Structure 1
Amino acid sequence: MLLTLHVSDDVRTLAPGFGYLAVEAHGLTNGPSDDHSSALLDEATRRLTERLAGRAPQDDPHIAAWRAAYAAFGSKPSRTRNSAEALARRALADGSLPRINRLVDLYNAISVAHLIPVGGEDLDHIQGSMRLLRATGEEPFVTAAGGEHVIEHPEPGEVVWCDEKGVTCRRWNWRQGTRTRLTDTSVNALFLLERMAPMTAGELQTAAAELAESLQKMCPDARIEVGRPQLRDY
């Protein structure tokens, strides 16, 4: 059974075109980046370049919709970009993507190839259910600065993902916290694919299916469950 996820009415009002699809995986084997995960990232960069055909990422309709959603809750999209745009810009500028670990490389490759924000959370560090809501500004967010763990707080009204212990990702999908991120020793994970209209339910499902297939190839003994698209217009 998939982890319970909830989107607040305030967020749905802010961005009625928002939707998501969750993929859960149990019994994974992670580790440092390798030739296979590097090849996935290189292929994703190639697919991105072909898709954009010389356009900037923000000119893609899906990324433009994310920029509008960020602006709606008071975030400057040219300064705090959604994760898909940030990765795409880095891929185009550097000609390659950062290597983190096998699982993060895999979901980053899906994000870039499909121009969709994709996040990965360690299920063993999630406390209770997860909720997407507009912050009060009091919620704790554990991050790193200067090699040390520090606690920050979101701005009031900021859209954040939270569990029972605090914020797991700030500004929708801009920055993930250190508490729930996937490490080399993670074995159970939640992958969250997020879309804005005009991306269709079918396009969201295609990206999720590719993620699940790649996970199964990378970790043949893993148990993977793909949820249904959660869209207001589905």
Structure 2
Amino acid sequence: MTAPDAIPAVFGHDTTITDTFTDLAWRTLTVRRSDDATDAGWLDATPLPSPGSLEPLTPSLTAWRGVFRRMGLDPTTYRSAAEAVRRRYRSTGSLPSINPLVDVGNVVSLRHALPVAVFDLDRVRTPILVTIARGGEEGRDLAGTSTIAKPGEVIFTDADRRLLARRWCWRQTSEGAVSSDTTSALFVVEAHHDDAVTDLEAAVQELAEGCEATFPGCDIA
């Protein structure tokens, strides 16, 4: 387990997670802005690799596949968010625009092959926790359909035990989803591979640069 000084009031992992997945490393980034002004220059100017140059798997994505297998999941049925972004980009040659916060996260996820989650801190009650589901934790997917965690599943929840993401980094729910109106957001980036710390630091640095450029005057922590 490798992480910077924790901010338990905002985000953390249940000890069952850190004791089981001892190679887990993570970094977080909070973004706060006073208005909804955005500048798309960074997103427009940041170079993306050509789809044909991307390998389907990297050490980071392979490590996540191993984690999914340890969770009892077929990683070709349930893909980490980072692998899903890469697979879609290799197929279509583009990243769909969702909203500025998600777009920044998707660019960084694609460039660094790491899952990047982002949550609206005004829509959840912190701390956000990666934990083991008791079963019955409920949320709605981004299409608005009810989704319920199974006992033993690795999930993200908030302090009210609302379901924020299923199968660890597979898919977020709408409960903590960011929008164009979000003014306070938390990014979470996690990894399990050998060079995780170096790669996480580079990814979070790029997240900070992207947010500072996209949201002029925002506060980064």
TM-score category of the 2 structures, normalised to the smaller one: 0.7 to 0.9
CA distance change for structure 1 residues 100 and 30 in 2, over 3 Å: closer, same or farther? farther
Question: Residue 12 in 1 paired to residue 34 in 2?
Answer: no
How does the TM-score come out when normalised to structure 1? 0.83
Could you tell me which runs of 5 or more consecutive residues in structure 1 were left unpaired when the two chains were aligned: 226-234
Question: Amino acid of the residue matched to residue 21 of structure 1?
Answer: R
Asked if structure 1 preserves the Cα contact closer than 8 Å seen for 2:17 and 2:130, the reply is yes
- Taking only the aligned residue pairs, the percentage that are identical comes to 27
Write out aligned runs for 1:121-140 (5 A): 121-140=119-138
Asked if structure 2 preserves the Cα contact closer than 8 Å seen for 1:132 and 1:162, the reply is yes
CA distance change for structure 1 residues 39 and 98 in 2, over 3 Å: closer, same or farther? farther
Partners of 1:140 and 1:210 lie apart in 2 by: 33
- Give the SS at the match of 1:190: strand
Asked if structure 1 preserves the Cα contact closer than 8 Å seen for 2:37 and 2:215, the reply is no
Partners of 2:39 and 2:163 lie apart in 1 by: 27
Partners of 1:130 and 1:106 lie apart in 2 by: 21
Moved more, 76-85 or 9-18: 9-18
Asked if structure 1 preserves the Cα contact closer than 8 Å seen for 2:37 and 2:216, the reply is no
What is the number of equivalent residue pairs in this alignment?
A: 214
Structure in which a larger fraction of residues adopt helix: 1
CA distance change for structure 1 residues 124 and 64 in 2, over 3 Å: closer, same or farther? same
Could you tell me which runs of 5 or more consecutive residues in structure 2 were left unpaired when the two chains were aligned: 1-5
Partners of 2:195 and 2:62 lie apart in 1 by: 11
Asked if structure 2 preserves the Cα contact closer than 8 Å seen for 1:142 and 1:150, the reply is yes
Partners of 1:49 and 1:114 lie apart in 2 by: 16
How does the TM-score come out when normalised to structure 2? 0.88
RMSD of aligned C-alpha atoms? Answer: 2.2
Question: Residue 82 in 1 paired to residue 86 in 2?
Answer: no
1:206 deviation in Å? 1.2
CA distance change for structure 1 residues 30 and 89 in 2, over 3 Å: closer, same or farther? farther
Write out aligned runs for 1:62-81 (5 A): 62-81=60-79
CA distance change for structure 1 residues 150 and 94 in 2, over 3 Å: closer, same or farther? closer
